[in-house]
Amino acid sequence: MKLKLNIWRQEDANAKGGFETYDLDGIHGDMSFLEMLDILNNELVEKNVEPVEFDHDCREGICGMCSLQINGEPHGPDKGITTCQLHMRRFKDGDTITIEPFRAKAFPVIRDLVVDRSSFDRIQHAGGYISVNTSGNTQDANSIPVEKENADLAFNAATCIGCGACVAACKNASAMLFTSAKVSQYALLPQGEIEATERVLNMVHQMDNEGFGNCTNTGACELECPKGISLENIARMNREYLSASFKG
Amino acid sequence: MSVLDSKVPQGPIADKWTKYKNEIDLVNPANKRNIDVIVVGTGLAGGSAAATLAELGYNVKTFCFQDSPRRAHSIAAQGGINAAKNYQGDGDSNYRLFYDTVKGGDYRSREENVYRLAEVSGNIIDQCVAQGVPFAREYGGLLDNRSFGGVLVSRTFYAKGQTGQQLLLGAYSAMNRQINRGKIQAFNRHEMMELVVVDGKARGIIARDLVTGEIERHSAHAVVIASGGYGNVFYLSTNAMGSNVTAAWRTHKKGAFFANPCYTQIHPTCIPVSGDLQAKLTLMSESLRNDGRIWVPKKKEDSIAIREGKLKPTQIDEENRDYYLERRYPAFGNLVPRDVASRAAKERCDAGFGVNKQGQAVYLDFKSAIHRYGKEKAFTSGHKNPSQEEIIRLGKQVVESKYGNLFDMYQKITDENPYETPMMIYPAVHYTMGGLWVDYDLMTTVPGCYAIGEANFSDHGANRLGASALMQGLADGYFVLPYTIGNYLADDIRTGEISTDSKEFEEAEKSVRNTIDKLINVNGEKPVDYFHRKLGLIMWNKSGMSRNAKGLEEAIHEIAELRDEFYKNVRVTGKAESKNAELEKATRVADFLELAELFAKDALHRNESCGGHFREEYQTEDGEAMRDDENFKYVAAWEFKGKPSEAVMHKEDLNFENIELKTRSYK
Amino acid sequence: MYLINIKCTFGVNFKQIVMSGISKTSIARKFAMALSGLFLVLFLAQHFTINFTSVFSEDTFNEISHFMGTNFLVQAVLQPVLIFGVVFHFIMGFILEIQNNKARVVKYKKYSGGANSSWMSRNMIFSGAVILLFLGLHFYDFWFPEIVHKYIESHPEDATRYYSETVAKFAGDPIRTGLYAISFIFLMLHLLHGFASSFQSIGFNNKYSRALTVFAKAFAVVIPLGFIFIAVFHYINN
């Protein structure tokens, strides 16, 4: 199929970016979206044009490195997948595809479609862990049974891949779904409960400092999340945060 | 006596590690504050090592090319992690895990390292649970286990199909705690370009900031390489796009021996290649082989009709299907180890029975599983005489609950519904058992330079068992390296900070700049991918699942030629002083082009078939691997001498005192 | 009911966090927004109940209105609290909107909001602004005349004037009736997202949430329609 691509190009963080249009031919439905970009890039190199920079790594939907706002939606029009799992059969011959970087003040553009998501890392640094030594002198893994229901909920929260689609989709560029997933995972496990108060206060504080917007419960994050992280986690974090504020 | 000293402690195998820990030198906490350690790579091995070293008090700097440590490719491991906990009471023990691993590795690993691995495996689970890793649990609240690839006990712990991700996030959280304490400085989007050796010791690295293009000098008292495997030398593999050999290869060029480069694991259940321009292969969990049956048509004309789209697999009757694994290996059937299953698939496809357009695929069929589960389910829910439709409906439900996410993934990629038509699978490069040679301390032949996880060669011999990679990465990082490195660093407490102004750093930086300038200035006509793809084809065709002397000799020749062409005709667009993905790829492919030659050379010298290394000349009449313990019971560790073609081999003889050498048989 | 819930969940002293945390953290801000919103919903229910009596009983309406208009507690305590609640809710709404806008400096060229969220949830500021304009009209119609009547011109108490005054506003005035109806439609849109979502904001998400959401959405539709009905009823009947 033939496609017209409208792609955001930006030399570096300080440069003023803009859209460039590229025509691409010979794309098959079985190709993944990123393979389509590989082909574009190889064509650009052959024309001596600098290729389009985009983040990607595992290409099987688990590392969270790929991003891209495709036709106005993070990870493209399909739900429950990352950009690397999107296949070209989703598009038609003659389509125009607009590709932009994830946009948020807290995700500054590094180059072209590559954004800096280290704000997510800093939220994790602030408390996304259980303070246990890695010495190996811990108690036996089965010494504290965990209710299966909670273990499953914790697992569901833990499946977050940190891709940032929640922020990209949110009209307020809020990072509540990301932060709440981590807060929930630990709050639901007996091992993590002990530090729950400090953790939620610190992580929310860091989240706010990074310049993410406020949550207005539009629910866009949950729908666009490639791993289907539930909004319930946000409610849980609100609860944890408010009760922590009283205690603290 | 070989130049290689594995430094294995004396005494009975079960006591060695304890004895070792009791006798090594320790660094007191006040002195640890004055010692810096660099960790390159932040996957399971690197991440867990960095966290533990920082917690002990060392100043740690981590480097990864991804934008966050959480993205390392350990994340993609699906199935699980082995540990000899014996929670199921099915007779598991450290010895059994040790035995299974050595046997699975086709008796080409070092006994003592493997025993230690088995010994600390249980502790890994304790550690991870304490860190909040949400392993699967039973209704009673205790941890669940499942069985995996070719062993007789249930010792695999798992977190649905995302065990690697959850374990990595555990290690990442431990890192975060130390980053928050200021004990780890994380350099993300950085690539190690060179190891710096001062007075014979590893004292730092040269790294490139992948965002600004800046070349940086970083010094330390020890350097840990945890940069993973080199499967991407095949271009198409299940590795991440960024996975590369550069850190390990540059270390090799600075004096670290490279061991058994030809040991590659080809995973049998991947989604077949669909086109020439494909960039990446996707793995389907090995767990599918628990219920799926693998087959190709018995009649060649059926295969041809399928390839031409004239026949559908569902139209082929049972008697015309060849369930070749069940036929050849009645005892293990579809659950033979990975190397055996992969080779059998290739054998059928090479014989002309392949079933996709390219003739490079076999079927993985769930029809009988659906029937079996459907009947069971109907029976247990009270339908003693269910209709055929009822059985199929219920069976699909059961299969969905077990493998739903994998089936969805398959459908997303191939646009075919695996509940209705059999899946197509084909082997793909997945893991490399070879890597930097290390002694019992996990130290390479460069003093002060360590290699852990997939980057070293130590534990899996010639073939790795399923669910053991995660185990090894975490064992090395959490429980082994933190002890052994102390033994070395104890001598460094008075050294003080290592200066980055020395001539060694200057030379290393200059050499990196030269490499980059050279690549940018070629200004040829072909993009980097062109060369990488070509290299992959040579490797796959002549140094892949099965190899022969003629092919390998050709490969060595062709690789060297391709390398020359690369330096004449590659085009790297853009500048060195900015984010430049083409340049990143170019530096990595340049190293793959060298490693590939050593790989083929190693494969050519090893005149036997063992594990992932199958030489066509060395097989039994019915096509099974023929190991040669008399002549090849050793580790081949290659020393760099200016060019891959001139590499010199050193042997580390393998002694099996606790396990009797046998021919692996899964019949 | 929801207030009780909040108290159960968070103890009694929520005022403290609302006051101290408002400007500080995003979660406190949305908590404050939700609480003030829930308070206004409560007021709306009360207002509707009283108004609805005007449809069937002139006397009841007059009686309650007179009580509300003259009772010291209502006038001196509840009325200021209500005004504070309204002012707080809309000022906070604007502050949040400004902050949220700042969180994405460069906007998307193509943004398919409709693919993942409702129009209502994305346009609370717009529906809110319409409601605010309506409040201006409503104050002009009722509240200012009432204050002038009671406190500036100091007319003697008359417990029977309310019904006729109210009805007179709508009788034979299609424009006013129309404006009221349109405003209530926007109130409906505002409530359709706001009411149900406030439970999420205060951390209430459990097995009762689904039922509560259904109730909140029903409320969001029924109450504004009811208000429209009252306005149209008086327009037609008189």
Residue C100 tokens read as: 């949220």
CA angle C60-C66-C71, nearest 5°? 130
Contact B136 A151 (CB under 8 A): yes
- State the pLDDT confidence band at C7, using cuts at 50, 70 and 90: very low
Looking at chain B from residue 385 to 424, which residues have their Cβ under 8 Å from any Cβ of chain A? 409, 412-415
| pLDDT number for residue B160 | 83
Closest-CA distance, C200 to chain A, in angstroms, reads: 5
Closest-CA distance, A24 to chain B, in angstroms, reads: 14
- Residue C148 DSSP SS3: helix
Residue of A nearest to B121 (CA): A136
Looking at chain B from residue 237 to 266, which residues have their Cβ under 8 Å from any Cβ of chain A? 238, 240-242
Cα separation values, A92 from A87, A95, A99, B662, Å: 11, 6, 16, 58
Name residue C77's beta-bridge partners: none
User: Is chain C adjacent to chain B, meaning 3+ CB pairs within 8 angstroms?
Assistant: no
Q: CB of A49 within 8 Å of any CB in chain B?
A: yes
Closest CA to B55 of B37, B69, B73: B37
User: Would you say residue C6 has pLDDT above 50?
Assistant: no
- What is the ipTM, given to two decimal places? 0.97
Whether residues B395 and B509 share a domain: the answer is no
| pLDDT number for residue C104 | 96
pLDDT digits (tens, 9 = 90+) for B137-190: 988 999 999 877 667 788 999 988 889 999 999 999 999 999 999 999 999 999
Which of B394, B410, B429 marks a domain boundary?
Answer: B429
Residue of B nearest to A130 (CA): B131
Tokens 């052959």, residue located = A46
Structural domain includes residue C18: no
- Residue B37 DSSP SS3: strand
- The number of distinct structural domains making up chain C is 1
Looking at chain B from residue 422 to 451, which residues have their Cβ under 8 Å from any Cβ of chain A? none
Contact B573 A158 (CB under 8 A): no
Contact B143 A134 (CB under 8 A): no
Level-2 CATH architecture, domain A118-247: Orthogonal Bundle (1.10)
pLDDT digits (tens, 9 = 90+) for B370-425: 999 999 999 988 888 889 999 999 999 989 887 888 898 899 889 999 999 999 99
**Distance of alpha carbon B504 from alpha carbon B508, whole angstroms:** 6
Give the phi and the psi of residue A108 in degrees, each rounded to 5. -65, 145
**Residue extents of the structural domains in chain A:** 3-110, 118-247
Helical packing angle, B163-180 and A148-158, nearest 10°: 70
Looking at chain A from residue 54 to 113, which residues have their Cβ under 8 Å from any Cβ of chain B? 55-65, 81, 84-85, 87, 89, 110-111
Structural domain includes residue C83: yes
User: Would you say residue B366 has pLDDT above 60?
Assistant: yes
Closest-CA distance, B125 to chain A, in angstroms, reads: 6
| pLDDT number for residue B385 | 86
User: Would you say residue B514 has pLDDT above 50?
Assistant: yes
Helix/strand/coil (H, E, C) string of B81-116? EECCCCCCCCCCCHHHHHHHHHHHCCCCCCHHHHHH
Tokens 């003659």, residue located = A94
The mean pLDDT value for C138-147 works out to 90
Q: Among the residues of C103-141, which ranges form H helices?
A: 119-122, 124-138
- State the pLDDT confidence band at C13, using cuts at 50, 70 and 90: very low
Contact A38 B279 (CB under 8 A): yes
User: Would you say residue C168 has pLDDT above 70?
Assistant: yes
**Distance of alpha carbon B138 from alpha carbon B380, whole angstroms:** 21
Structural domain includes residue C153: yes
| pLDDT number for residue B666 | 76
**Distance of alpha carbon B224 from alpha carbon C60, whole angstroms:** 84
Give the phi and the psi of residue A3 in degrees, each rounded to 5. -135, 155
Q: CB of B582 within 8 Å of any CB in chain A?
A: yes
Q: A204 near A137, Cβ under 8 Å? A: no
Residue C70, number of CB atoms within 10 A of its CB: 12
Give the phi and the psi of residue B635 in degrees, each rounded to 5. -95, 130
Closest-CA distance, C21 to chain A, in angstroms, reads: 9
Chain A CB contacts of B127 under 8 Å are: 132, 134, 136, 138
Contact C26 A235 (CB under 8 A): no
User: Would you say residue C154 has pLDDT above 90?
Assistant: no
| Domain of C30, in residue numbers | 26-97+119-237
Chain A CB contacts of C110 under 8 Å are: 69, 71-72, 98, 100
Residue of C nearest to A104 (CA): C104
Residue B303 tokens read as: 């295969």
Two domains, one topology: A3-110 and A118-247: no
Residue B450, number of CB atoms within 10 A of its CB: 30
Closest CA to B235 of B281, B270, B269: B281
Closest CA to B599 of B559, B561, B572: B559
Structural domain includes residue C220: yes
CATH number at residue B557: 1.20.58.100
Closest-CA distance, A136 to chain C, in angstroms, reads: 37
- The number of distinct structural domains making up chain B is 2
User: Is chain A adjacent to chain C, meaning 3+ CB pairs within 8 angstroms?
Assistant: yes
pLDDT digits (tens, 9 = 90+) for C19-55: 445 557 899 999 999 999 999 999 999 999 999 999 9
Q: CB of B159 within 8 Å of any CB in chain A?
A: yes
The mean pLDDT value for B493-520 works out to 97
Minimal Cβ distance to B127: which of A58, A63, A138? A138
Closest CA to B474 of B142, B170, B61, B245: B170
| pLDDT number for residue C19 | 47
pLDDT digits (tens, 9 = 90+) for A39-67: 999 999 999 999 999 999 999 999 999 99
Whether residues B369 and B516 share a domain: the answer is no
Contact A57 B174 (CB under 8 A): no
The mean pLDDT value for B251-266 works out to 97
User: Would you say residue C3 has pLDDT above 50?
Assistant: no
pLDDT in tens, chain A (248 residues): 999 999 999 999 999 999 999 999 999 999 999 999 999 999 999 999 999 999 999 999 999 999 999 999 999 999 999 999 999 999 999 999 999 999 999 999 999 999 999 999 999 999 999 999 987 778 899 999 999 999 999 999 999 999 999 999 999 999 999 999 999 999 999 999 999 999 999 999 999 999 999 999 999 999 999 999 999 999 999 999 999 988 76
Q: B395 near B300, Cβ under 8 Å? A: no
Which residue, among B117, B180, B281, B413, would best test binding to A if mutated, counting the most A CBs under 10 Å from its CB?
Answer: B180
Chain A CB contacts of C103 under 8 Å are: 104-106, 172-174, 211-213
The mean pLDDT value for B457-463 works out to 95
- State the pLDDT confidence band at C9, using cuts at 50, 70 and 90: very low
| pLDDT number for residue B287 | 81
Q: Among the residues of B254-348, which ranges form H helices?
A: 300-307, 324-328, 338-348
Q: CB of B62 within 8 Å of any CB in chain A?
A: no
Residue of C nearest to A172 (CA): C100
| Domain of B600, in residue numbers | 502-633
Closest-CA distance, B397 to chain A, in angstroms, reads: 20
Q: CB of A130 within 8 Å of any CB in chain B?
A: yes
pTM as predicted: 0.94
| pLDDT number for residue B149 | 65
Contact A64 B143 (CB under 8 A): no
Closest-CA distance, C166 to chain A, in angstroms, reads: 36
Q: Calculate the average pLDDT of chain B.
A: 94
pLDDT digits (tens, 9 = 90+) for B282-319: 998 888 888 899 999 999 999 999 999 999 999 999 99
Contact B127 A134 (CB under 8 A): yes
pLDDT digits (tens, 9 = 90+) for B224-247: 999 999 999 999 999 999 999 999
Looking at chain A from residue 135 to 174, which residues have their Cβ under 8 Å from any Cβ of chain C? 169, 171-174
Q: Which of B110, B116, B328, B338 is catalytic?
A: B338
Whether residues B425 and B506 share a domain: the answer is no
CATH number at residue B388: 3.90.700.10
Q: Active-site residue B615, yes or no?
A: no
Closest-CA distance, A222 to chain C, in angstroms, reads: 9
Radius of gyration of chain B (CA): 25
Buried b / exposed e over B175-198, threshold 16 CB at 10 Å, is bbbbbbeebbebbbbbbbbbbbbb
Q: B111 near B659, Cβ under 8 Å? A: yes
- Chains adjacent to C (≥3 CB pairs closer than 8 angstroms): A
Residue of C nearest to A223 (CA): C116
**Distance of alpha carbon C63 from alpha carbon C2, whole angstroms:** 29
Radius of gyration of chain A (CA): 20
Q: CB of A128 within 8 Å of any CB in chain B?
A: yes
Minimal Cβ distance to A214: which of C9, C29, C202? C29
- Residue A4 DSSP SS3: strand
Q: CB of A213 within 8 Å of any CB in chain C?
A: yes
User: Would you say residue C1 has pLDDT above 70?
Assistant: no
DSSP 8-state code for residue B335: G
On whether the A3-110 domain is CATH 3.40.50.1100, my answer is no
Structural domain includes residue C112: no
pLDDT digits (tens, 9 = 90+) for B49-58: 999 999 999 9
CB pairs under 8 A between A and C: 152
Structural domain includes residue B353: yes
Contact A236 C28 (CB under 8 A): no
The mean pLDDT value for B90-116 works out to 95
Residue B150 tokens read as: 């070719």
User: Would you say residue B69 has pLDDT above 70?
Assistant: yes
| pLDDT number for residue B79 | 80
B560-569, C21-30, C131-140, C147-156, range with the lowest pLDDT: C21-30
Minimal Cβ distance to B129: which of A32, A141, A185? A141
